[in-house]
Structure 1
Amino acid sequence: MNDCYVNKLPSESKTHIAIVGTGSSAFAAAIKAAEEGAKVTLIEGAKIIGGTCVNIGCVPSKIMIRSAHISHLQSSHAFGGISLNQPQINRAKLVKQQQARVEELRHTKYESILDNNPDIELIRGWANFEDAHTLVVKQGKGSEIRLKPDKILLATGASSAVPDIPGLSESPYWTSTEALVSKTLPKHLVVIGASVVALELAQAFLRLGSKVTIMARSVFLSKEDPAIGEGLVTIFEKEGARVMLDTLPKSVSHDGKSFVLSSKAGEIRCDQLLVATGRNPNTEQLMLGKAGVQLDNKGAIIIDDHMRTSVGHIFAAGDCTNQPQYVYVAAAAGTRAAINMTGGDAALNLSAMPAVVFTDPQVGTVGLTEAEAIKRGIDAESRTLSLESVPRALANFDTDGFIKLVADKNTGRLLGAQVLSAEGGEIIQTAAIALYNQMTIKELSNQLFPYLTMVEGIKLCAQTFTKDVKQLSCCAG
């Protein structure tokens, strides 16, 4: 065995920080730590750097979703004076364009940073703890590097979770990783799952021309306000998807050509199966028990709002932790972890964290639902505004969805917002800023919103707490 033992890297006067992983939280931390004067060692065992978002998550999925949206507009728009057209889809060409942009962004946002920052070094290999202060990096062919850094950040991300369904593991199913780079479109795609990734990809494949069946353990987006899931089911079925709620396969088999899924609704055959039932934190290989780092019952690293683990000099950020699995949360956590590892004091406040599901219409949420507020003992009330009352939606001939605001009945303070709307991801940020600044419904309704915009629906919904917006003129203040 070839051992290389490193106590501190060359600059002895600098704090040495080792970061396991090279995704968004890892690079955000590395950049900030280097700015603060630290020497950073990034450790990565995978062939490519950049983590989930740029390589197999946010970037390729949003490119695919956009292409599917363009296809849908050609074949299904509401403007009678423009002829409908069934587009010809060249999936291989779309994937080539998509992956070229992925490679471009990976180079610009990750690889070039390594090239241009001498205080950030990359070591290739898989890391695990030997003890609380020692990381062993296995590089293959018996070669190992041992590091004893001053601080450690764990940023190892998460991987697709696969449910325990008989026969599934022996079949050639897809996860989102394979689905996003497939150069062919399935004739019939069955999607197991009804959360964010499942619904985004199901609708994308549907709009690109596949027949799609969605099998949900319970309902669509079960953690959100029930009206959101119900609204999406109606929209998906209108577009031609088969939706099977409260139904998972009892077993899965593959005969070399087709998948066969048995269920309480009968046998389902398809030529491709996508499993999108959540993601599990990548923590098993780290041997965290040797370091004394505590995990929750899902294997996620438990951290506080300063990204500290149960061990003082070990921090964690991103999808491997018990924080919400969003890339912007991961990046913010990485930056704050770096500040704290270099002597600062930075907390991450998630009380006004917006979330977006990139279906069409989009889902945007922030803060509490009415049910969550009541469960916390808050005397809450809500109002729901149909998009038929939003002038821009009427002008777009696209009124599917709603905007809902939740408020404290006694103080009028905004508690949360739930949006199912075109441009919902843009709309929700206004609600998030209002929530962060503890605005009241009255204050929100008195703000100036540009006309005609979808975000004006926030103002109109706020006005419904005190008046009937149907009785207002178009842009009444």
Structure 2
Amino acid sequence: MNSYDVAVIGSGPGGYVAAIRCAQLGMKTAIIEKYATLGGTCLNVGCIPSKALLDSSHHYEDAIKHFEEHGIDIPGDIKVNLEKMIARKQSVVDQTTSGIDFLMKKNKIDVYQGIGSFKDATHITVAGEETTEIEAKNTIIATGSKPSSLPFINIDKERIITSTEALKLKEIPKHLIVIGGGVIGLELGQVYKRLGAEVSVVEYADRILPTMDAGVSKELNKVLKKQKFKINASHKVKSVERVGDEVVVKADNKKGEEVEFKGDYCLVCVGRRPYTDGLNAEAAGVKLDERGRVEVNDHLQTSASNIYAIGDVVKGAMLAHKAEEEGVFVAETLAGQKPHIDYNLIPGVVYTWPEVAAVGKTEEQLKEAGIAYKAGQFPMRALGRSRASMDIDGFVKVLADKTTDEILGVHMVGARAADMIAEAVVAMEYRASAEDISRMSHAHPTFTEAIKEAALAATDNRPLHV
């Protein structure tokens, strides 16, 4: 039987990063993955493939809508080759997952393919082509999450689908009904909207992106409607039925009236659930909470002292980069170091176009907490860089403490917001004030000038370009 200092169950961004950091710190490490490729949901059927399709569809939309205005004339009709687009997406996935294989070999991490389940707190059975057993002094659970559904929905993976199936459709839907106005639904909805589908979003909450700042939600809602999305907030879905090649969705609106949606595909994006199937956690003395998450303390330690859990399987935002931070945190804890994670400074991003990004507190959270704050906002359309690229939708909003001027939250909608948010994270990590940002030189012309201008607006209401 092979023995290890650390065994990691699950090879998503949390798991494989944890394994690499453990190996870097001198621990003999094994990683267990039930699928044939490493990388988990993110690399195989999540972040990476969805961004590949978002980029491809963005190029197509630019070609049919914007090239002429840029002075680019293309003779003949521009057509979508969906099969080729999906194949390119898969090649990106293959390159990325093979990169993880390389990193495992480079760091001398043993890879076991199969379902890892606890025999007890220090022994794990791996059921693959053959069943093997390993011994681990410490274990990190990084088994991730799976798409959730509603109890009355039968996901047939053909017409009633999850995000996994949406990444490999054989045809462009005529009318895609998206249940859920969160990150995944809006991103994949935009992919197929650009390619020619009619898209209807049905959301239970009173707005899309209900967990983000209300101003951001309102702005993206306005932009998506301009892009011909049909957004139906405050709608409670009560039935989803397939009739041949048609899907009928019935929902009650906020007045209690029944509304019917008919389409050829229905994408169910109502969140994700922690995945612990087959883990046999109880055999190791690991407790789960009422929502199926692994219970952990502030050190990400489970009820079994030598077993830790990270990522989507524990409480907190289900984000790949949050899982990575937790993986490094546990590895360094096991090495006797004293790492830290500030969960308030984990950014959230929506990769629609324009992109949405945020870090820190929303206005709603500050009001609820009774914190006196000031807000500065700057429109992207006032930037020379935005006009040059025709990306004029959106804004940057900086929230700062009314007394100390410390930045408490930054929220943005706009081109490259996913990249720009890092400036806000750095500023908040070092507890910068809005004035600090406003006095930093930002290159001109850039999108990031909007952050400086919003900080000027928050400091003493003196933005320069509006």
**TM-score, reference length from structure 1:** 0.90
Check the 8 A contact 2:438/2:453 in 1, yes or no: yes
The yes-or-no answer on 1:130 pairing with 2:119 is yes
List alignment gaps of at least 5 residues for structure 2: 253-257
Residue 148 of structure 1 corresponds to: 135
* Aligned position for 1:266: 259
Write the distance in 1 (CA, Å) between the matches of 2:98 and 2:68. Answer: 41
Q: Secondary structure at the match of 1:251?
A: strand
1:167–1:40: structure 2 CA closer, same or farther, 3 Å change rule? closer
Aligned twin of 2:415: 422
Question: What is the CA deviation profile of residues 349-407 of structure 1, one whole-angstrom value per residue up to 9, with x for unaligned ones?
Answer: 32322221101111110011122123223211212222233332233333211111111
Conserved 8 A contact 1:306-1:346 = no
Determine if the alignment matches structure 1 residue 16 to structure 2 residue 5. Answer: yes
Q: What CA deviation, in whole Å up to 9, does each residue of 1:188-224 have, x standing for no partner?
A: 1111111111111101110011111111111200011
Counterpart-to-counterpart distance in 1, 2:221 and 2:67: 20
Over the matched positions of the two proteins, sequence identity in percent amounts to: 29
Pairing partner for 2:347 from 351, 354, 361: 354
- SS at structure 2 position matched to 1:300: coil
2:221 to 233, 242, 246: 233
- Equivalent residues, number: 458
Larger deviation: 445-454 or 279-288? 279-288
Distance 1:318 1:437 in 2: 25
CA drift of 1:292 comes to 2.7
Matched residue SS, 1:325: coil
Q: 2:86 aligns with which of 73, 83, 95?
A: 95
Q: Distance in 2 between matches of 1:431 and 1:78?
A: 33
Q: CA deviation at 1:456?
A: 0.5
User: Structure 1 residue 424: deviation in Å?
Assistant: 0.9
**Counterpart in the other structure of 2:197:** 210
Q: Work out the CA distance in 2 between the residues paired with 1:441 and 1:34.
A: 40
C-alpha spacing 1:91/1:131, structure 2 compared with 1 (3 Å):
same
Q: SS of the counterpart of 1:260? A: strand
Relative to structure 1, the CA distance from residue 469 to residue 344 in structure 2 (aligned partners, 3 Å threshold; closer, same or farther) is closer
Gaps of 5+ in 1: 1-5, 10-14
Instruction: Select which of 159, 166, 169 maps to 1:179.
Output: 166
Shift of 1:144: 3.6
Say whether 1:380 aligns with 2:373: yes
Task: Describe the shift of the 1:473–1:176 C-alpha distance in structure 2 as closer, same or farther (beyond 3 A).
Answer: closer
Q: Indicate the SS of the match to 1:89.
A: coil
In structure 2, the CA distance between the partners of 1:19 and 1:381, relative to structure 1 (3 Å rule), is same
**Aligned residue number for residue 111 of structure 1:** 101
- Are the structure 2 counterparts of residues 388 and 139 from structure 1 closer, same or farther at C-alpha, using a change threshold of 3 Å? closer
* Alignment correspondent of 2:255: none
Q: Which residue of 2 aligns with 1:443?
A: 436
Aligned partner of residue 237 in structure 2, secondary structure: coil
Query: 1:203, 1:172 → 2: CA distance?
Result: 18
Any residues of structure 2 matched to 1:25-424 within 5 Å, and which? Answer: 25-77=14-66, 80=69, 82=71, 87-108=78-99, 110-118=100-108, 120-139=109-128, 144-166=131-153, 172-218=159-205, 219-264=207-252, 265-424=258-417
How far apart in 1 are the matches of 2:37 and 2:360?
Answer: 36
Q: 1:80 to 1:29 in 2, by over 3 A?
A: closer
SS class of match (1:284): coil
- Higher mean C-alpha deviation, range 170-179 or range 208-217: 170-179
What's the Cα RMSD here? 2.3
Q: Deviations over 1:67-125 (max 9, x none)?
A: 111122123339746368763100001111110121111112x222334444x212222
The 3 A distance-change label for structure 1 pair 453 and 95 is same
1-structure distance, mates of 2:419, 2:451: 11
User: How far is the alpha carbon of 1:152 from its aligned partner?
Assistant: 0.6
